[in-house]
Each structure stands twice: as C-alpha cells, then as structure tokens.
Amino acid sequence: MSVESLNLDLFSLLNVPQQASPVIMHYAIFIARDLVYLLLGYFTLFWFYASKNSKALILKAFIFCCIALSISELMSYLVQTPRPFVMHVGQTLIAHEATGSFPSNHMTIFSSIAFAYYFSARRDIGKLLLAVAWLVAWSRIYVGVHFPIDMVGAFILSWMVNLAGLKLWNHYQEKLMSWVMWIYQKLFNSLIQKGLIK
C-alpha cells in the first residue's frame, strides 16, 4: 500500500461520518478551531504570574514554536498540498481557505510547545500537551481540513526543531532570559512593584 493510499484510507476512517453525533461534531469543531486560542491565551496570562523557571519554559516554547511555524509556513507555500475539501474528499465542518495542507500549522503549534516542555524538567506537562496535540490532530482531520500525513509531518517537524535547538537553548538560556526579563521589567515595572504581577 502506498503512502498516498494509506493517507486517504486513514482520512476516510477519521473524517466525520454521515450520521455523526451533533455533540461530537461540536466538540471536534471547538478543539479544531478554538482550543489554540485558549492555549495561547493561557500561556500569555500565565507568564505574568509564573516563576522565573516557568517563564523560561514559556520563552523556550515560544521561540521553538515560532521557528517551527515559520518552517511550516514555508513548506506549505512551497509544497502546496491541496486540502481534502479542495480534492472533494470527505465532509468539511468548518470554513477554511484553500491554502497548502502540509504540514498542519495547528499541529505544529501544539507539538512545538509540547516538545519544549517534554525536553525539560517538566516532562510531565510535555506528555500531557503531546496528548492534547494528537487530540487536535484528530479534530482537524475529523472536521475535514487536513489529512493524517499533515499531522505526522507537523509532529516530526516540531520534534526536529526542538531536538536541534536544545543545545543552543541550554547554552544561551540565561542570556536570553536576562534580556527578556529586562525588557519585561521595564514595560511592566509599576505593576510588578505593586505586586499585581511577577
């Protein structure tokens, strides 16, 4: 069986069936479309109240996510793999532009953040976030905007970026954190002094 055939077979298996439960459909739409905003909002808010070590992990996740997402966008532009609805395959539950499908930006974001934590002292959080990443992968296929291979590609890309950048991060972490914290304290000094944020 070819990779293309396996990809299409897995898509048919995971995409929303004809007689799908409305509850499952709404759940999948929420995970596929809205969970990324909750995740990014949570980390943004958490930054203001986190310890220095936790802030360092957030910064690490942000940097690696930006790198992986930039590569993902470039690959998507260069490869221009059509999405399922462009090929008139399966059912589609949410509107989406007909941009390149491979790799998935959503999976890249979730996987990059997950691996940033997984390759750290907080591997427990990383494992949880990896499970969430695959939940997002399922949902994006279920709602019909991605193929399974898009998720695998994003997962591998995120893993490679995190693995390749780990030594550099460990070497420059203190310098980066000092610079970022200096800017942060300059911008929010009054709120920090009042004890409203850390």
The closest alpha carbon to 27, from 121, 75, 93, belongs to: 93
Q: What is the pLDDT of residue 2?
A: 85
The closest alpha carbon to 136, from 9, 65, 32, 61, belongs to: 32
Is 16 among the domain residues?
no
78 C-beta neighbours (distance < 10 Å), count: 9
Which two tokens mark 175?
């310098």
C-alpha span between 156 and 146 (Å, rounded): 16
pLDDT confidence tier of residue 155, bands split at 50, 70 and 90:
very high
Is 133 among the domain residues?
yes
Q: pTM to 2 decimals?
A: 0.93
Is 112 among the domain residues?
yes
Dump pLDDT digits (tens) for 72-96: 999 999 988 999 999 999 999 999 9
Is 32 among the domain residues?
yes
pLDDT confidence tier of residue 195, bands split at 50, 70 and 90:
confident
Number of domains in the chain: 1
pLDDT confidence tier of residue 3, bands split at 50, 70 and 90:
confident
Q: What is the mean pLDDT of the chain?
A: 94
Q: For residue 63, what are the CA distances in angstroms to 68, 78, 116, 165?
A: 9, 23, 9, 10
Q: What is the pLDDT of residue 80?
A: 86
C-alpha span between 16 and 34 (Å, rounded): 18
Which two tokens mark 167?
């030594």
Is 94 among the domain residues?
yes
**Mean of pLDDT values over 129-143:** 97
Dump pLDDT digits (tens) for 16-63: 998 889 999 999 999 999 999 999 999 999 999 999 999 999 999 999
C-alpha span between 119 and 106 (Å, rounded): 20
**Mean of pLDDT values over 176-189:** 94
Determine the structural domain holding residue 181 and report its residue range: 24-193
Torsion on CA atoms 71, 123, 53, 111, rounded to nearest 10: 20
Measured in whole angstroms, the distance separating CA 79 from the mean position of its chain's CA atoms is 20
C-alpha span between 66 and 152 (Å, rounded): 19
Q: What is the pLDDT of residue 34?
A: 95
Helix, strand or coil for residue 23?
helix
C-alpha span between 131 and 144 (Å, rounded): 20
Is 155 among the domain residues?
yes
C-alpha span between 7 and 5 (Å, rounded): 5
**Mean of pLDDT values over 95-103:** 91
pLDDT confidence tier of residue 4, bands split at 50, 70 and 90:
confident
Is 72 among the domain residues?
yes
Find out whether 147 and 84 touch, Cβ atoms under 8 Å.
Answer: yes
In one letter, which amino acid is 69? Answer: L
Is 121 among the domain residues?
yes
